[in-house]
Amino acid sequence: MGLKDVKEWLHYCGRCNSCKYIYRVYEPSCPAFEKFKWEPYTSSGKVWIARDLFEGKYELSQSICDKVFACTLCGNCTIQCQQEIGDHALDIFEALREECIEAGYTIPAHLKFRENVEELQNPYGEKHDKRWEGIDDKYFKDSAEVYFFVGCTTSLRNKTLFSNILKLLDYLGVDFTLARDEWCCGSPLLTTGQKKSAKFLAEHNTDLIAKLGAKTVITACAGCFRTLHSQYPSKYGLLTNQNHFNANKEIVEKTKDTENEKDTKNIRVLHISQYLNEIIDKKNIKIKHPKEINVTYHDPCHLGRHVGVFEEPREVLKKLKGVHLIEMPRNRDNAWCCGAGAGVKSGFKDWALEISEDRLREAMQLQKTQDINIDYMISTCPFCERNLSDARKSLIDKGELSDSSLKVIDLVELINLVLKQK
Amino acid sequence: MQDSKNLKEIKKTNITKKIIEDLEKIVGDSQWVNTDIEILMNYSMDMTEQVAPTLAEVAVMPDSTSEVSQIMKLANRFKIPVIPYAAGANVGGLTLPHEGGIIIDFKRMRRLLQIDKENKFIVVEPGFTFGDLKREFMSGGRLEGFRYSFPFAPPYTSVLTNALLNGLGSLGVKYGCANNFITGLEVVLASGEIVQIGQNAINKGKYWISREPLPDLVGIFVATQGTMGIVTKIGLHLIRQPKYTINYAILPKSADDFLRSWVHELDKLNVCDEIGCGYFPAKIAHGIIPDDDLIELMGKLAGLVRKGNWAKLLRLLGWPLLKAVTFNNPFPLIKFLASKNLLPLPEVGEDEPLMISGITITGETKNIFKAKIKAFKKFTRKQEALVIRPKEFGELAGVFNSILDLPAQLPAFYDLRGGGLTWVGSYIPHTNVADGVAKGHKILKKLGFFPVVVLRPMKQDHYFVMRFIIAFNSSDQKEIANARKAVEKVADVVLESGGTPYKMAPPIAKRIWKKADPSFYDFIAKIKDCVDPNGILNPGKLLVNGTPKNPYKLKDLTGNTGGNE
C-alpha cells in the first residue's frame, strides 16, 4: 500500500484537533504529540504530510521518516477523531511508512528486524532452535484440537510466560500442540512499513496452520493475534475463511469459503484471553485467591483498539474470586499505549520507556486518589508486559514507585499465581 | 488543492544561521527550534482556507515569558516578522506568516498558572485549551464547582485567544463575548518589554481580579489579532456552578418567528443562563426537527421511558428504532426515521433552514430553580414549541451532544463534503438577525452551499451572534475559491445588516475598513506604530492598509481570482 491507495482520504482531515484528546474526557490521547509537541507528530499532522507528499509539495526526507516512525500506531487518535478520516488514518500512516522504506529512509533498527527475520525467521536475531530450548517434546504433536502459536517475544524473550502458558493449558486439560516450524508472524515488519518482506512469513504460517489441522489457533501475544486474525486476511488474502465471533460467541463474520484455503476452513483465531474465558466457563473451574488483591488491566492496542477485544480479559479477571479489577481512567478504546509497538521500542528506546512510565503513573494516580494499593498491572501481551516492566523498574529507580505495588504480569501468570496460592 | 506553486513568494527576511542558533540558545534546546519543511507547512494554512498558504522560515516553542521576550528582542533588532500561534485551531488565516519570519508556537506554554477560587479567577498561558479547562471543571478537577463560557468550537482551542478575539461562548447571553471575562494580561511588546495590565500590575500578580478601576489597556490587545503584542498570560473570571442545572432543547414551529420575536420574549423572562440556536438545512435537520406526528411519538416515547415501560416501547418502535435511539450517534436514527418517512416536514423544503435551540436553566435553590422551569414551560407551551429534555430520551442525548460538538462534527453532518470548513461569524443587532439569516442563506444556497447558522443572543439580548458555517471540498480548487467568495459575500450581508464580522480574515478586514470611519483605522494605526514601530508583529492582519510608519499594501491574500477586490 502506498499513498496512491489512500489518496481519496488525504484531504479529509479538517484539522479540528479533536484527535488530540480522549473524546469528552479531555485527557491526552497521542503519546507522540505529548512528547514532541510539533504538529507533524499528530494524526492530523501526519495526514497533512501524506497529502503534501502526494501533491508533490516537497520530497520525502529522513526528517519526515523520523517523525512518521515515532508514532506507536496505537490508533487512539482514530478513535477520538469525529470525522470519517479517523477510519482511514492508520492506513495512511502505514502507507507513509511504506513510502519511506521504498524511498530508502529508514530507522536502522527496523532494517535489522528485516535482516533477522529473513535469515532466522525472528526479529531478535536468535537461532530458530532457541525458541524451543527447555520445552518438553510432549508439546509437539502431529495434530491437536488447538494450536498454540507462541510468537517470538514469548518464546525468545519471556520463557517464564511461555512456561506459565503451558502449565495453565495443561491444568485446564487442553488438547494443544506447538509447532517447531513456527516463524515470526510478521507483525514487526508490517508495522514498520515492510509489508512486502513479511509476505513469506504469512504464507509459511498459513501453510503450517493448514498442515496441523487444528480448528482453533490461540496466541498469547496481542501482536501475533492481530496479525493472524486481521492482517493475514486484509493484507495478504490469507486465513480469510476464519469465523469471527463476538463476545456472545455469535458468529459476526461468516466464513468465506474459498477454494485455495479449504485446509483452514472454519478455523478460529483467538487470543488466549478469549479462549480462557470460554474454557473456564465450559469446564466450570472455580479459581479463588486466598486474599483480596487489586489489579488494573492495561489494554494492548493490538488486542483492543485494533481488533476490538476489550471484555474477554476483563471477564476472565472477574472469574478470579478475590481479585478486584480497578479500571484506569483511560481504558478500553481510550487506553494509553504502552509505547512499545510499531518499532518504537527498537527505534526510540528511551521514548518508548517514557510512554510506559506515563501509563504506570496513571495507575499510580489512581492509587493515590482512591487511597488503595494496586498489586498488579495485568497485560495480555508479552511486548506490553516487557515495556511496562522496564518502565516500572525505571520508576522504582527514580524513587517514584514502591516495589510492592503495580507488578506487571500477564493474565496467564496471574491465574497461575492464584492457582498456586489456592 | 494547493500546490507548491501556490505558496506565496516570501519576502526574504534577515534570518541567518546565527539567528537560528540564537533562538536555540534562548529556548535552551535545538529540539524547540525547527526549520523542517514538514513542520513549517503546518503553519502555512488553516482549516478555513480563507487565505492562500504562506510559509514561515522558522518555528520556535518557548517555555516562558522570559524566552518570548528574548525572542522578540532578537526579532525586533533584525526586523523579522513574528507570528504568535497558540493551540492550532486557527481560522481566517490569522496565524499565517504573510511575510515569512518566525512562528512562536505556544504548545509548551500550556499551564494553568494560578487558581483563586475565593476571588474567582484563574491565570493561564496561551497554549492552555478549552479541553484542559473542561477537565479541571470535571469531577475531581481543580476547578470543580465552577464554570466558564465555552465556545462553539472543538476542545483543542486556546482559551486565551478565544478571549482576545472576542469569541462567543455558552454564557454569552448573560455575560457577552469572551473578552468580558478578561481580568488582566501580561504582554510582551515588540521591543521585548514585558507589560502587566490590570490590577495584577498593582499587586505584583497576586490578585488578577479586575481591569477596573484602572485605565483599561486590555482593549489594545483585544481583537487586534496579535499585531500589538504577544499576550503570555491572561487572567479570567470564573463563574460559580449553580447547584441545580437542567438543559432543554426547543424545537420552534417557525424559525423565523423564533428569531423575530419569541427568542427576545424568552430572554425577557430572565430564566435562561444559556440560549444557543442552530439553524440547519432541513435535509440535515430532518432527523432533529420533528413534525407533529413525531412530536406525538416523542411524547409517548418520553412517557414510556419515564415509566420504564420497555416492553411497550419495543412494541411501539420495534427493534431498529430502539436500537437507533440507544446508539450514541444521531445518524442511524436520522436515516431510519427519514427512510420510514417518519419525519416529513411538509411546510419546509429540504433546502430550507430549520432551527433547534438549546437552553440551560440553573438555580441556587430548589424553589428558584422550579419557578424558573415553570415560567419557561408556560412560555414554550404558549409558543407551541416542542421542548425536549434530552435525558428523557436516554442515549438520544447523543443527538444533542453531537450538535454541541459542532463544528468538529459538521463535515460528518454534511456527509463528508471534503474536509473543508469555513465560516463568517458576526455580532449583529438583534432587530436585524432574522433578515440577515434569510439573506445569507439565500446567497449561500445560490453558490451551492447548505449553511449551518449558529445564533445566540448575547449580553441579555443586546446583540446577536450570527455565524454561517460552510463545509466544502478542500481538494477541489474551484470549490475552495467558491467558499472564499461565499465568505466575502456573507460578510457583505453582515455589514449591510448593521453587524460586524469577528475574527476577521484579511480580505474581510479590508471590507470592514472600507466601510468604517477613517479616524477609527488611523487611530489604531497610530497605536500600532507606537507599540510596534518596525511592524514585525503578525503583519498582514487587521491593519491591512498598513500604518503611517509601515505602509502596507494589501496583496491578494486570498489566492482567489473571483470575489476578491
pLDDT tens digit string along B398-444?
455 555 555 555 555 544 456 788 889 999 999 999 999 989 988 98
- The stretch A165-184 carries a mean pLDDT of 96
Which member of B31, B37, B474 has the closest CB to residue A11? B474
| Alpha-carbon gap: A108 to the closest alpha carbon of chain B (Å) | 21
Question: For chain A, which domains are there?
Answer: 3-102 (no CATH), 108-277 (3.40.50), 286-421 (1.20.1050)
**pLDDT, tens only, B216-225:** 999 999 999 9
**pLDDT, tens only, B81-134:** 999 999 988 888 899 998 899 999 999 999 999 999 999 999 999 999 999 999
State chain A's mean pLDDT as an integer: 92
CA distance B529 to A200: 69
**pLDDT, tens only, B198-214:** 999 999 999 999 999 99
Residues 6+ apart with CB under 8 A from B174: B273, B274, B459, B460
Instruction: Output the pLDDT for position B92.
Output: 85
C-beta atoms of A40 and B42 within 8 A: yes
* Maximum Cα interatomic distance, chain B, rounded to a whole number of Å: 77
* Maximum Cα interatomic distance, chain A, rounded to a whole number of Å: 65
Question: What band does A261 get if pLDDT is binned at 50, 70 and 90?
Answer: low
Neighbours of A61 (CB within 10 A): 15
Instruction: Output the pLDDT for position B11.
Output: 58
Residue B486 confidence (pLDDT) above 70: yes
C-beta atoms of B39 and A40 within 8 A: yes
Question: What band does B48 get if pLDDT is binned at 50, 70 and 90?
Answer: confident
C-beta atoms of A11 and B473 within 8 A: yes
Residue A386 confidence (pLDDT) above 70: yes
Residue with more model confidence, A332 or B377: A332
Phi, psi of A66, deg, nearest 5: -60, -40
Q: Give CA separation, A392 vs A200, A238, A295, A299, A389, in Å.
A: 37, 38, 15, 17, 5
What residues does B184 pair with on adjacent strands? B198, B235
Residue A289 confidence (pLDDT) above 90: no
* Least confident interval from B37-46, B128-137, B287-296: B287-296
Where is A152: in which H helix or E strand?
Answer: helix A152-157
Chain A contact set for B1 (CB, 8 A): 11, 55
Instruction: Output the pLDDT for position A48.
Output: 92
Residue of A nearest to B412 (CA): A83
B433-446 helix and B477-496 helix, angle to the nearest 10 degrees: 160
CATH 3.30.43.10 intervals, chain B: 4-105
* Least confident interval from A137-146, B58-67, B433-442, B554-563: B554-563
B4-105 has CATH 3.30.230.70 classification: no
- The stretch B370-390 carries a mean pLDDT of 81
Highest mean pLDDT among A265-269, B196-200, B263-267: B196-200
Residue B286 confidence (pLDDT) above 50: no
Instruction: Output the pLDDT for position A239.
Output: 87
CA distance B131 to A351: 25
Instruction: Output the pLDDT for position B390.
Output: 56
* Least confident interval from A288-302, B363-377, B384-398, B414-428: B384-398
Assign a CATH topology to domain B418-502.
Answer: GMP Synthetase; Chain A, domain 3 (3.30.300)
What residues does A267 pair with on adjacent strands? A242
Residue B319 confidence (pLDDT) above 90: no
Highest mean pLDDT among A244-248, A409-413, B253-257, B476-480: A409-413
Instruction: Output the pLDDT for position B422.
Output: 87
Instruction: Output the pLDDT for position B508.
Output: 93
State chain B's mean pLDDT as an integer: 81
Query: Quick one: which of B23, B17, B21, B113 has its CA closest to B61?
Result: B23
Burial B420-439 (b: 16+ CB within 10 A, else e): bbbbbbbbbebebbbbbbeb
- The stretch B535-557 carries a mean pLDDT of 81
Assign a CATH topology to domain B112-240.
Answer: 3.30.465
Burial of B537 (0-12, 13-18, 19+ CB in 10 A): buried
C-beta atoms of A17 and B154 within 8 A: yes
Where is A251: in which H helix or E strand?
Answer: strand A251-253
Whether omega before B411 lies within 30 degrees of 0, making that bond cis, reads no
Which member of A21, A61, A84 has the closest CB to residue B156? A21
Residue A242 confidence (pLDDT) above 80: no
Residue B323 confidence (pLDDT) above 60: no
Residues 6+ apart with CB under 8 A from B118: none
Residue A182 confidence (pLDDT) above 90: yes
C-beta atoms of B39 and A10 within 8 A: no
CATH 3.30.465.10 intervals, chain B: 112-240
CA dihedral A407, A413, A415, A417 (to 10 degrees): -70
Q: Which of residues 43-62 of A touch B (CB under 8 A)?
A: 45, 48-49, 52, 55-58, 61
* Least confident interval from A120-124, A293-297, B140-144, B377-381: B377-381
Instruction: Output the pLDDT for position B7.
Output: 59
Chain A contact set for B47 (CB, 8 A): 14-16
Instruction: Output the pLDDT for position B415.
Output: 44
Residue A316 confidence (pLDDT) above 80: yes
What DSSP state is assigned to residue B223? S
Which member of B31, B41, B407 has the closest CB to residue A57? B41
Chain A contact set for B473 (CB, 8 A): 11
CA distance A380 to A341: 14
Residue B562 confidence (pLDDT) above 60: no
What is the value of ipTM here, to two decimals? 0.92
CA distance A233 to A210: 15
Chain B contact set for A71 (CB, 8 A): none
Signed CA dihedral, B228, B230, B232, B234: sign only? positive
CATH 3.30.300.330 intervals, chain B: 418-502
Assign B363 to helix, strand or coil.
strand
B506-515 helix and B477-496 helix, angle to the nearest 10 degrees: 30
Residue B517 confidence (pLDDT) above 70: yes
